[in-house]
């Protein structure tokens, strides 16, 4: 609400206006006016991203920034992309992530705005009727906004810190999604490459069987089986090529590439599997490091402060008061008279129907609903961390089993089957069945290796947050205190 002050003369109005300016300046000093950071609040974001995942990120805020990023993009695309290079490219070139950084800048603007005192409003009114002249001057200032300035500034600061954590979370999410897309694209390409080789072998086998059939050395049944085997492998190859194309496009979107840049190079196969990580106290690490929990804790703190502000001002907002003074000049029968009536004006809203309890109750219920949702999320975070670790270890064991046992045994089976076929100990059906089983095992081994690398990403993001999971999008933020078993 606003106070109304009127001055009998310009000098007095200016004097009172200056008084309000002094009040505003003093309040601003006491409340601590915020100023804009040179990088829109990106400093702590870049620092935490570098410390957590070893990558750097930038906000493109000027043509010079765009040129610098363009040079880095060209350098990264000059050679086949690794997983780390793909993530780094996405962190500087993904426009969706840049929009998240713009949202951080908007939050900083709201923080700075909340720390500034409200601008005063000057009004002048002149009324002339016949020989009577009345001049009314008003200086209007939002006194309640001045009184609550420190509290509102503190709330906005907490919300800005929450927005900063959300920007960090968005960065982690982009990095995790890019890494998943990279492993899928490379695995799809490796699968297609393997099936191309398998189709060549199947084509040769079908052609040989057909020629043997022309000489009478192969039955029609064997020719049909060889032809069906070739057709089935060709279909598998067509599916693999389609998957490779769509997975590559998914990666391209994460990298933010278009035009000539979409012809980037990928390696022909997935990297070697690293040693498995043994992590103690997975839940504790997740609760301590999850950026979505930290952001939600800050949001909950801001909500609590807002509730306190609502309770403190529930009756103050119903009071309007101020000083009023008019300057009047009356001219009658050639005699001029002037007067400067003064008085006090006070308006009080009587809280008969709404005493402010509605807003207070609404705020309390909103706050408690947020606590309950975040307590549920905190429980889920613990479970997600445990499940991600179990999946990580399980997928490692499966991929290792393929590499160390199944594929070597398949090679031995293929060699022995070929020897026995040449020795006329088995027929074409057994040989083709063995070849199909070998193809299936190799394709499954590539998929198992891909799943292990994706499970690694899921496990890391379950600890630091911002990545969701490979099967479902990430859930909303939660609160660190709730995860630690605390409450408000």
**CB of 290 within 8 A of CB of 480?**
yes
| Residue 343 in domain | no
Integer Cα distance of 403 and 397 in angstroms: 10
Q: How many structural domains does the chain have?
A: 1
So what's the pLDDT on residue 409?
A: 95
User: CB-based contacts of 486: which residues, under 8 Å, 6+ apart?
Assistant: none
Integer Cα distance of 56 and 361 in angstroms: 45
Integer Cα distance of 264 and 396 in angstroms: 29
Residues paired with residue 319 on neighbouring β-strands, in sequence order = 348
Integer Cα distance of 284 and 483 in angstroms: 9
Residues of the chain with pLDDT under 50: 1-10, 13-14, 17, 27-31, 312-323, 344, 472-488
Q: Are strands 121-129 and 132-141 parallel, antiparallel or unpaired?
A: antiparallel
| Residue 283 in domain | yes
Helix (H) or strand (E) holding 347: strand 342-348
- DSSP-derived letter for residue 259 is G
Integer Cα distance of 453 and 459 in angstroms: 10
| Three-class SS state of 55 | coil
- CA distances 183 to 56, 75, 244, 452, 455, Å, are 21, 21, 11, 10, 11
Radius of gyration, CA atoms only, the chain: 36
Residues paired with residue 122 on neighbouring β-strands, in sequence order = 139
| Residue 344 in domain | no
User: Which tokens is 131 given?
Assistant: 């020989």
Integer Cα distance of 257 and 95 in angstroms: 10
Integer Cα distance of 81 and 251 in angstroms: 11
Helix (H) or strand (E) holding 84: helix 83-93
| Residue 351 in domain | no
| Residue 185 in domain | yes
Helix (H) or strand (E) holding 461: helix 428-464
User: CB-based contacts of 465: which residues, under 8 Å, 6+ apart?
Assistant: 169, 172, 286, 289, 290, 291, 292, 293, 474
* Boundaries of domain holding 433: 32-116+148-314+356-483
So what's the pLDDT on residue 117?
A: 80
Integer Cα distance of 206 and 229 in angstroms: 8
First to last CA, the chain: 32
Residue 227 sits in a domain whose CATH number is 1.20.1600.10
| Three-class SS state of 355 | coil
Q: Are strands 3-7 and 319-325 parallel, antiparallel or unpaired?
A: unpaired
Rounded to two decimals, the pTM is 0.74
| Residue 159 in domain | yes
Chain CA centroid to CA 285, Å = 20
Integer Cα distance of 248 and 8 in angstroms: 76
Integer Cα distance of 442 and 447 in angstroms: 9
Of 54, 486, 21, 81, residue with least CA distance to 251: 81
Q: Name the percent of the chain in helix, strand, coil, to the closest 5.
A: 70, 10, 20
| Residue 409 in domain | yes
Max CA separation in the chain (angstroms): 139
Cα angle 126-132-135, degrees, rounded to a multiple of 5: 25
Query: What's the sign of the alpha-carbon dihedral 224, 225, 226, 228?
Result: positive
| Residue 162 in domain | yes
């Amino acid at each position: 609400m606003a106070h109304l002050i009127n001055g009998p003369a310009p000098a007095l109005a200016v004097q009172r206006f200056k008084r309000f300016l002094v009040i505003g300046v003093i309040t601003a000093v006491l409340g601590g006016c915020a100023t804009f950071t040179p990088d829109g609040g990106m400093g702590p974001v870049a620092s935490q991203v570098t410390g957590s995942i070893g990558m750097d990120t930038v906000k493109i805020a000027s043509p010079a920034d765009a040129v610098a990023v363009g040079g880095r993009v060209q350098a990264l695309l000059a050679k086949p992309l690794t997983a780390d290079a793909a993530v780094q490219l996405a962190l500087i070139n993904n426009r969706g992530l840049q929009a998240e950084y713009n949202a951080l800048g908007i939050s900083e603007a709201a923080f700075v705005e909340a720390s500034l005192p409200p601008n005063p409003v000057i009004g002048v009114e002149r009324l002339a009727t016949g020989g009577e002249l009345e001049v009314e001057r008003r200086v209007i200032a939002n006194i309640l906004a001045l009184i609550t300035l420190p509290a509102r500034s503190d709330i906005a600061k907490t919300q800005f810190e929450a927005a900063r954590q959300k920007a960090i979370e968005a960065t982690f999410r982009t990095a995790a999604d890019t890494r998943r897309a990279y492993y899928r694209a490379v695995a799809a390409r490796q699968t297609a490459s393997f099936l191309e080789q398998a189709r060549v072998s199947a084509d040769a086998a079908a052609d040989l069987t057909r020629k043997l059939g022309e000489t009478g050395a192969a039955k029609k049944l064997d020719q049909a089986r060889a032809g069906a085997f070739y057709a089935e492998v060709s279909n598998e190859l067509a599916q693999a090529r389609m998957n490779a194309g769509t997975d590559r496009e998914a990666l391209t979107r994460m990298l933010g590439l278009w035009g000539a840049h979409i012809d980037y190079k990928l390696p022909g196969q997935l990297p070697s599997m690293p040693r498995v990580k043994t992590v103690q106290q997975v839940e504790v690490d997740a609760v301590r490091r999850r950026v979505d929990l930290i952001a939600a804790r800050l949001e909950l703190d801001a909500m609590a402060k807002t509730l306190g502000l609502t309770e403190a001002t529930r009756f103050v907002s119903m009071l309007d008061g101020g000083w009023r003074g008019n300057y009047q000049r009356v001219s009658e029968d050639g005699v001029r008279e002037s007067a400067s009536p003064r008085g006090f004006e006070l308006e009080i809203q009587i809280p008969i129907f709404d005493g402010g309890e509605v807003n207070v109750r609404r705020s309390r219920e909103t706050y408690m609903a947020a606590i309950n949702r975040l307590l549920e999320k905190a429980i889920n975070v613990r479970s997600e961390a445990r499940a991600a670790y179990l999946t990580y270890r399980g997928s490692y064991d499966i991929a290792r089993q393929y590499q160390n046992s199944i594929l070597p045994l398949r090679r031995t089976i293929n060699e022995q089957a070929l020897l026995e076929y040449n020795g006329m100990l088995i027929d074409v059906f057994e040989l083709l069945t063995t070849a199909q089983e070998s193809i299936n095992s190799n394709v499954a081994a590539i998929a198992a290796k891909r799943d292990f690398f994706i499970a690694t990403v899921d496990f890391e993001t379950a600890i630091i947050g911002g990545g969701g999971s490979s099967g479902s999008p990430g859930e909303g933020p939660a609160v660190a205190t709730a995860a630690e078993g605390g409450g408000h």
